[in-house]
Amino acid sequence: MPDRSRSLPLAGALVCLTALTLVTALVVGGWAPLAGFDDTTELFRDAALRHDSVEPVLLVLEIALNSIALGILTVAIAALLWARSHPRAAIYTALVMVLTALVTSVMKATVGRERPAWQPEGTLLTEGSFPSGHASGITALAGVAIVLAWLFLRKRGLKVLVTALLLVPVLISVVDRLLLGRHYYTDVTAGILLGATVVLGVLAFYSPLPVSHAANADPLPVAPGTGRRLHVVVNPSKVDHLATFRSVVASIAKEAGWSEPLWHYTTVEDPGGGMAEAAAVAGADLVVVCGGDGTVREVCAELAGTGIPVGIVPAGTGNLLARNLDIPLFLQAAVDVAINGQDQAIDMVAVSGDGIEDTHFMVMAGMGFDAAIMEGVNEEIKNRVGWLAYVWSGLKSLLFPAIKVEVSIDGGEFTTHRARTVVVGNVGYLQAGMPLLPDAAIDDGTIDVVLLYPRRFLSWVPLALRILAKRSHTDDTINRMTGQSVVIRAAHDTPRQLDGDPIGPGRELRLDCIHGKLLVRVPR
């Protein structure tokens, strides 16, 4: 991690540790004012006794937030991170939770504080009261989740929302311990400080970010008399801290032996094509693009066939191309792959149709329900909460009417179908990791088509389960086709989209796969 990234959590850990040490010293020393304040904790228990229905709920929460439950949740989170190719994040999660549990146990045994005398009868706990194991455990797990959210998520508004939501279970646990009479104020305070100390302390010395690819990078061939010219195309509306991004790119580029990056910024009038053309004309050896799927599509389309590799730094909401190429969403890690990764030749798809200029897509095209979702997304909400905006739009679009479509594969005869949506994909996984086209590959020279026709509103549920289970069986509900070229005709004007961007309603899409047309940087 950069020095600043290490110093900030280290400073936070030292502050929390100092506060924890002070509270512990005052408790062990029996400082009278603090002991008197702790005795007022009984007021919480008195409040709970006034309502017979409260205690059973508190006891359920106690079990739901105990060390066993948190341990199971930790294993699940770590396993998911490992399966998603984030081993360091998985190790960080496990390390924080194990250290928190060990330090909590040691402090309980060392301090040896007795539990409050006002615990409920029949459910007495006898082990040490200081610090609260519930408070330290839930604080540590929430802290880990917050750290990972700020690393994985790109939208600042969504990061803040997730952080606020993750603080709720910490508050619930604290209130539960006080209302049950399990702990004093200082017990839960020390538990929170302990959990925060471990989260920040481990972060200062062990980064959840992937290891750099620079060590495995092969020297790039450089023509005599030229340098390793790096150009960067950025959609500034997708980057929260442009100065930080520029600094990260420049630092990694310098370390890898590249020239000082030349910067190009997209505009509303030109979403990336003109910038990519300027980089190519200037003799770029590598073009890094930072933006959403639309910006990435424009840059890739312009550089296809030039032999200039494209490094992708995902900064949008879907980031579908990056996800399917296993490019990390961590900013620093994505820049590392973009500069030090290896080149892979991938397919792109030429698109034409009524009412649109000839263009290309990298990930998918669609007609019907999926395009209606894209059209219905509120851009202001999307900028604040990211992919949650698509969820809301999807719920509103579930009743999109069925359409009559004709499909021709590789110049063959048209076949007639009814569908609520038709998706043509160059990759297998679409929004939210949905394996809509499980057999699709981005470098196989073919494109895959899926037609979905749930007849009723509730039919979406079994349809989604079939897709998630990757069942190969096809019928009128799910129909699949594959070919090098596809033509889709709708009976009436229907919403259409390319890589998540609406392109207006129409009746036809003509799609042709161009095999191995583009070089992109992928993890080694």
The string of pLDDT tens digits covering residues 427-438 is 887 765 677 788
CA atoms of 277 and 78, how far apart (whole Å)? 43
pLDDT band for 174, please (50, 70, 90 cuts): very high
Q: Which residues lie across from 3 on neighbouring strands?
A: none
pLDDT band for 1, please (50, 70, 90 cuts): very low
Residues 184-200 have a mean pLDDT of 96
Distances in Å between the alpha carbon of 483 and those of 98, 349, 411, 513?
51, 12, 10, 8
The pLDDT, as a whole number, for residue 382 is: 58
Contact 336, 252 (CB under 8 A): yes
CA atoms of 22 and 9, how far apart (whole Å)? 20
The distance in angstroms from the start CA to the end CA of the chain is: 20
Q: Which residue has the higher pLDDT, 235 or 154?
A: 235
Length of the chain measured in residues: 524
| DSSP 3-state of 406 | strand
Percent of the chain with pLDDT over 90: 45
pLDDT band for 212, please (50, 70, 90 cuts): low
Out of 55-59, 130-134, 225-229, 297-301, least confident range: 225-229
Choose among 270, 134, 111: nearest CA to 191: 134
Out of 6-10, 327-331, 408-412, least confident range: 327-331
Structural domains in the chain plus CATH codes: 3-205 (no CATH), 215-340 (3.40.50.10330), 356-516 (2.60.200.40)
Residues 123-142 have a mean pLDDT of 89
CA atoms of 517 and 67, how far apart (whole Å)? 53
The pLDDT, as a whole number, for residue 2 is: 43
For residue 259, pLDDT beyond 80: yes
pLDDT band for 215, please (50, 70, 90 cuts): very low
For residue 377, pLDDT beyond 80: no
Q: Are strands 496-498 and 364-368 parallel, antiparallel or unpaired?
A: antiparallel
For residue 224, pLDDT beyond 70: no
For residue 220, pLDDT beyond 50: no
The pLDDT, as a whole number, for residue 345 is: 94
Residues 129-134 have a mean pLDDT of 93
pTM for this structure? 0.67
What tokens were used for 136? 């330290």
CA atoms of 20 and 358, how far apart (whole Å)? 64
The pLDDT, as a whole number, for residue 431 is: 64
* Angle of the 54-64 helix axis to the 156-179 helix axis, nearest 10: 120
For residue 446, pLDDT beyond 90: yes
Out of 120-129, 180-189, 291-300, 509-518, least confident range: 120-129
For residue 426, pLDDT beyond 50: yes
pLDDT band for 376, please (50, 70, 90 cuts): low
Out of 92-96, 108-112, 426-430, 494-498, least confident range: 426-430
pLDDT band for 381, please (50, 70, 90 cuts): low
Residue holding tokens 């494109």?
A: 447
